Amino acid sequence: MDLPVDEWKSYLLQKWASLPTSVQVTISTAETLRDIFLHSSSLLQPEDELFLKRLSKGYLVGKDSDAPLFYREEGNKKFQEKDYTGAAVLYSKGVSHSRPNTEDMSLCHANRSAALFHLGQYETCLKDINRAQTHGYPERLQPKIMLRKAECLVALGRLQEASQTISDLERNFTATP
């Protein structure tokens, strides 16, 4: 599929030429991408948005519903081989191909949290555990990530929080007669 790159470039060149020289200099001499963004974003006009919408119409890209499972399974293979970095990369690809608030998204976050745990990245692991829960991690698997959360908290020396997590786990998942 050919993308409308030339049309976009032409539009931008026209916009650039219409800017006052002082604004061109400010943007051209900005030292960071953040500065460029801050200077440029205020220049966007409603007609620019309309142009982009017209230009991108027909170029919509959907997510492949099979991709998250594929990347998760490939990540699981790397995990079994103890290639935790490779696993984390594949789980990240699964996240990027998942729709928000789906089991696919939650499982990719949870699996990545396991790889991050083994890499000693406990704070990031905790963030992924939270993301997994936010995106609908299955109830039947909650004990697994709650234990991982407690292990991270212990490793970080946050023993009070770890104790609370274990208490929550016991309270929420103790079998009732």
Residues of the domain holding 157:
67-173
Q: What's the DSSP call for residue 42?
A: T
pLDDT value of residue 33: 86
For residue 71, tell me if it sits in a domain.
Answer: yes
For residue 99, tell me if it sits in a domain.
Answer: yes
Please tell me the number of Cα atoms within 13 Å of 78 on its side-chain side.
21
In this prediction the pTM is 0.65
pLDDT value of residue 149: 97
pLDDT over 80 at 60, yes or no: no
Convert the pLDDT of each residue in 143-172 to its tens digit: 999 999 999 999 999 999 999 999 998 888
- Which CATH number belongs to the domain containing residue 89 in this structure? 1.25.40.10
Convert the pLDDT of each residue in 81-114 to its tens digit: 999 999 999 999 999 888 889 999 999 999 999 9
Task: Show the tokens assigned to 64.
Answer: 């492949």
| Count of structural domains within the chain | 1
